[in-house]
Structure 1
Amino acid sequence: MSFAPVVPFGGFAGWSFLTRTMEAQKQAFTGQASVQRDTDYFREKIGSVKTAEDLVSDRRLLRVALGAFGLQDDIDSRFFIHKVLSDGTLDTTDLANRLSDKSYYQLASAFAFDLATPGTQVSTFADGIIAAFQDRQFEEAVGGVNGDMRLALNARRELADLAGRQSSEDTKWFTILGSAPLRSLFQTAFGLPASFAGVDLDQQLGTMKDLAERYLGSDKVAQFAEPERVDDLIKLFLLRAQAREVASLSGGAVALSLLQNAQSGSLLSRLA
């Protein structure tokens, strides 16, 4: 029997419950036989992989490798992934450097098949990829229960990494705008409509920075190196998302939703 994450409430109350029970829920999720089989196989076999061809030729290894970077939907695009991995990242013309989704750059950089010693030959490599794979798989499972919670988990992971990068603040903001999950979270948190994506890119940048200053006290992406600032953003996002959902419901549906939340109190007492 598979384990499904438990998120009994929506909004910030649901997020508080999820973060409070995260360790136990992730342990139950990663302990499933299906996840264990994937990670055990990866740990056993990855050391024998020395080229991009070796990796894409083994579907089980490739599934974990792509899943660790949120690229599992590319599992059947072997030629494309082979090109990303074999090119590497050292030259500006390398495919990973030319793609707007920087997950491909992270994948190619981690495996480093363009170097004399690829990442697969480093003793700590398997542990790092497996941890990332488990995190992403858990996020996906949470998303099957509540999409907003998946966006929040993604933001907590991605923003901490982005904040510490050695790049300009504008480049970091453009990275956020180029990431569909992060863009969605920021637009909701700042009360921006979906049509905002059609505005001139430089104008989007200015608006994002202005609203970050207004709501978070700083227009710097670097602020998200502090977990408290990420939490402030997530709380704003979830409160706005919940308000938007409530506004779309009829009075009767709101009452039913509140009743269902109240009835799940016994579940909280068992898991919290």
Structure 2
Amino acid sequence: MNFQPVLPLAGYGGWRFLQRTLESQQATFAESAPVKRATDQFRERIGAIQTADDLVADRQLLQVALGAFGLDDDINNRFFIAKVLSEGTGSNAALSARLADKRYAAFSAEFGLGEGQTPRTALPGFAERIINRYESRQFERAVGDQDNDLRSALNLTNGLRDIVSGSGSNTARWFSIMGDPPVRAVIETALGLPASIGRLDIDRQLDMFKDRARATFGTDAVADLTDPASQEKLIRLFLIRSEASASAATSNGAIALTLLQNTLRPA
């Protein structure tokens, strides 16, 4: 049987419980049979992978590689993934650079399988680094099977860490947030921004994110949002606002159903 996280509560109460039990639950998850089998195989064989075609040809390894970056749903898009990897990240014309979702660029850069690049797959520590990411992301996925809001909250720490670890400017980091769907969803909701802002000009979106961050945290520096206290505030706001939105939608649906039933009721 697959491991199922223990989540007795939803919302912020569920988050607090999950934080208290996270270490033990993640350790149990990592030792569950399906996860351990996948990670053992990855550890054993990834060093022999030298090209993008090598990786996409091995479904078991590819599953771990994609899962480490939250890209599990692309497991059957082998041609697309091979192109993302083989074009690397060294050019603005590379596919990963042109995609709005910046997880693909991070994935391609980490493996180093682009033309003219030296593969990073056999470097010391590479396998363990990817396995750690995979275990973390797959635990988030297991949480999401029960509560997607808690999955999103769990993802925030890793997502922001990846964004801040780059050498780009603060503006570039905001663009990375806007290009990372899971991270964007949390921060957008936490800051009280409507999903409809995604239809605005990208520079206008940037201004709105920065303005609301300054109003909420007193700063628009993305690096400051990685502070534990700031992250906890982000997550608390996200969960409270998400739960309130869901409750409102349920209430509105119930009201609409009542009105429809009254309309259809014979006089």
Q: TM-score range by the shorter chain?
A: 0.7 to 0.9
**1:17-96 → structure 2 map (5 Å cutoff):** 17-96=17-96
Contact 2:103 2:180 in 1 (8 A): no
Question: For the Cα contact (< 8 Å) 1:163–1:224, is it kept in 2?
Answer: no
Q: Deviations over 1:50-82 (max 9, x none)?
A: 111211111111111111111111111111111
One-letter amino acid matched to 2:237: L
Deviations 1:72-98 (A, max 9, x none): 111111111111212222233222222
Moved segments of 4+, more than 3 Å:
114-117, 245-250
Matched-pair contact (CA < 8 Å) for 2:157–2:226: no
Please give the per-residue CA displacement for 1:162-192, whole angstroms capped at 9, x wherever unaligned. Answer: 2342212222112222222222212221222
Cα gap change, 1:195/1:94 in structure 2, threshold over 3 Å: closer, same or farther? Answer: closer
RMSD, matched Cα: 1.8
In 1, Cα distance between equivalents of 2:140 and 2:216: 26
CA distance in structure 2 between the partners assigned to 1:94 and 1:246 by the alignment: 43
Distance across 1 between alignment mates of 2:7 and 2:224: 28
Q: Is the 8 A contact 1:186 1:237 kept in 2?
A: yes
Cα distance in 2 for residues equivalent to 1:247 and 1:84: 41
Aligned to 2:258: none
Find the aligned partners of 1:42 and 1:202 in 2 and give their Cα distance: 41
Matches within 5 A, 1:130-209: 130-209=131-210
Give the match for residue 243 of structure 2: 242
- C-alpha distance in 1, partners of 2:64/2:119? 17
Counterpart in the other structure of 1:224:
225
Q: Which residue of 1 aligns with 2:261?
A: none
User: Contact between 1:164 and 1:222, CA under 8 Å: does it hold in 2?
Assistant: no
Deviation string 1:1-59 (CA, Å, 9 cap, x unpaired) is: 22111221122111110011001111111111111111111111111111112111111
Q: Does 1:128 align with 2:133?
A: no
SS in 1 for 2:43: helix
Residue 263 of structure 2 aligns with which residue?
Answer: none
In the alignment, which residue of structure 2 is the partner of 1:104? 104
Q: Please, which moves more after superposition, 125-134 or 69-78? A: 69-78
| TM-score, L = length of structure 2 | 0.88
Do the aligned residues in 1 keep the contact of 2:102 with 2:179 (CA within 8 Å)?
no
| Alignment-mate amino acid for residue 160 of structure 2 | L
When residues 249 and 84 of structure 1 are mapped into structure 2, their CA distance, relative to the original with a 3 A threshold, is closer
8 A contact 2:111–2:121 mirrored in 1: yes
* Residues 97/185 of structure 1: CA separation in 2 closer, same or farther (3 Å cut): same
Distance in 1 between residues matched to 2:45 and 2:89, nearest whole Å:
24
Cα distance in 2 for partners of 1:204, 1:132 equals 30
2: CA distance between counterparts of 1:249 and 1:70? 29
2:8 alignment partner in structure 1: 8
Cα separation, partners in 2 of 1:80 and 1:12, compared to 1, 3 Å: same
Provide the C-alpha distance between the structure 1 equivalents of 2:68 and 2:82, rounded to a whole number of angstroms: 16
Aligned mates of 1:221, 1:89 — CA distance in 2? 23
TM-score scaled by structure 1? Answer: 0.86
- How many residue pairs end up in the alignment? 251
* Counterparts in 2 of 1:121 and 1:149: CA distance versus 1, 3 Å: same
Decide whether the 8 Å contact of 1:12 with 1:239 is kept in 2: yes
Aligned residue identity for 1:44: E
Amino acid at match of 2:59: R
Deviation at 1:249, TM superposition (A): 4.8
Larger RCO of the pair (alpha carbons < 8 Å, separation 6+): 1
The one-letter code of the counterpart of 2:232 is D
Q: What residue ranges of structure 2 are gaps of 5+ in the alignment?
A: 255-267
Q: Distance in 1 between matches of 2:10 and 2:234?
A: 16
